[in-house]
Amino acid sequence: MPNTPPWVEAALNERRQQSLLRQTVTLEGPQTPNATFANHQYKAFCSNDYLGLANHPELIRSLHESAHQYGVGGGSSHLVCGHLAPHQALEEALADWLGYERVMLFSTGYMANLGVISALAAKDRPVAQDKLNHASLLDGAVLAQAPLRRYLHGDVASAEKLLSKLATPGLLVTDGIFSMDGDLAPLAELSKLAARRDWLLMVDDAHGLGCVGEQGRGSLALENLDAESLPILVGTFGKAFGTSGAFAATSHAMADYLTQFARPYVYTTAMSPAIAGATLTALKLIQSAEGQARREKLAQHIAYFRHRLSQLPVKLMASNTAIQPIVIGESSTAIKVSDALKSLGIWCTAIRPPTVPVGSARLRITLSASHTDDDLVFLCDSLECVLTSLQ
């Protein structure tokens, strides 16, 4: 075995001492609320499978059919010979659903954000971002070596002040729904600001698409935005769609530009055509009466959860989405709370810095349409037991 450099051990020891060491756990079954870890059964409340489609029989059937017809691997990048019929069909269906001229598929949401921002930003084209944006959005600006400035979370006045100080227009970037807080960005106001200042607005709506808005069209539908007022929309399939991969929706001209300069698109093997086929089926479900019923069920769970937790000695964050964080504070305490819940049969991982700001370690409770009413009662009863014991 090779010797481990001392700086590696030092970094790991520092993480251990701060209760920040990350470790993987193995889920022994499909992505459902009934989770098995190390041969123990739990009710899981930390998955992003918001509509409960990850194990839907129609998606499984579609995956098999697409794999049988088109194989499993993409074989090459989209620009060589990896763009198959299921990719094209999915792009066209997404563009029609969202009202954009073009959609481009990416292998992951991280790569979509990295690719779009690194292609559009530059040393002379700055990037202004919300303080709580996802890491992939920040990393895109770093890859472009662009000036990166961050405004106060959800604060349009702070964003305008920031833009007024920058000499040249650039890219204004925000999450639609923030992954760790669950709140909605002020997209309509940011869109007006971007237009007024001649900046380009980009929104990552990973946690909104499928779950909110008319037909599940996400944050842009909630804020009455369209392709003109929101020029670049990024979405992912690993949340409400129940599959994997991502896309960027934009104009013909912008898509042509990204095809030339978005390196994670140009130099990466295309997503599996079987996954593309399953994702198209997920989109049809999201648009259907079943999809609407699932969104309504999810909304009922959110309302019940917030009502129950309002009676406990915790402060609820301003979220009306499937993401319901409970801020604990210290990382070590958050781990203790998470472990106490596990002992009662609830699986909810503690989220700690640097994913969230120092002093705001939390339980990131996520709800799904596939949870039952009894699951929600069990969750809230368990939280009441554990949280009241902290007082």
Report pLDDT digits (tens) over 226-270: 999 999 999 999 999 999 999 999 999 999 999 999 999 999 999
**Tally of CB atoms within 10 A around 6:** 8
- Cβ contacts of residue 72 below 8 Å, gap of 6+? 272, 273, 274
Q: What's the rounded Cα separation, in Å, for the pair 101 and 97?
A: 11
Listed residue (299, 349, 304, 301) closest to 325, CA to CA: 349
Q: Does 239 qualify as catalytic in the annotation?
A: yes
Listed residue (330, 306, 308) closest to 318, CA to CA: 306
**Tally of CB atoms within 10 A around 171:** 26
- Among the options 43, 56, 78, 207, which is catalytic? 207
- Among the options 179, 191, 360, 370, which is catalytic? 179
Q: Does 179 qualify as catalytic in the annotation?
A: yes
Domain ranges of the chain: 23-50+291-390, 57-287
User: 58 in the Ramachandran plot: left (φ > 0), alpha (ψ -120 to 50) or beta?
Assistant: alpha
Q: Which two tokens stand for residue 181?
A: 């807080």
Q: For residue 351, with 0-12 CB atoms within 10 Å meaning exposed, 13-18 middle and 19 or more buried, which class applies?
A: buried
- Among the options 83, 87, 239, 301, which is catalytic? 239
* pLDDT given for residue 3 in this prediction: 84
Binding residues: 22, 109-110, 134, 179, 207, 236, 355
The β-bridge relationship of strands 34-37 and 323-329 is unpaired
Provide φ and ψ at 30, rounded to 5°: -70, 170
* pLDDT given for residue 22 in this prediction: 87
Listed residue (62, 81, 46) closest to 283, CA to CA: 62
Q: Which two tokens stand for residue 327?
A: 């801020």
Contacts 24+ apart (CB under 8 A), 152-157: 153/178, 153/181, 154/130, 154/183, 154/185, 154/186, 156/186, 156/189, 156/190, 156/193
Q: For residue 143, with 0-12 CB atoms within 10 Å meaning exposed, 13-18 middle and 19 or more buried, which class applies?
A: middle
* pLDDT given for residue 103 in this prediction: 98
One CATH from 3.30.2350.10, 3.40.50.720, 3.90.1150.10, 1.10.3720.10 for 23-50+291-390: 3.90.1150.10
Q: For the domain 57-287, what is the CATH code?
A: 3.40.640.10
Q: Does 136 qualify as catalytic in the annotation?
A: no
Give the dihedral sign, CA 95/98/103/109: negative
DSSP 3-35: PPPHHHHHHHHHHHHTT-------B-S-SSSEE
Q: What's the rounded Cα separation, in Å, for the pair 20 and 351?
A: 9
Provide φ and ψ at 105, rounded to 5°: -85, 145
* pLDDT given for residue 272 in this prediction: 97
pTM exceeds 0.85 for this model: yes
Binding residues for substrate: 22, 134, 355
* pLDDT given for residue 26 in this prediction: 85
Q: Which two tokens stand for residue 300?
A: 């009922």
Binding residues for pyridoxal 5'-phosphate: 109-110, 179, 207, 236
Q: Which stretches in the chain have pLDDT values below 70?
A: 1, 391
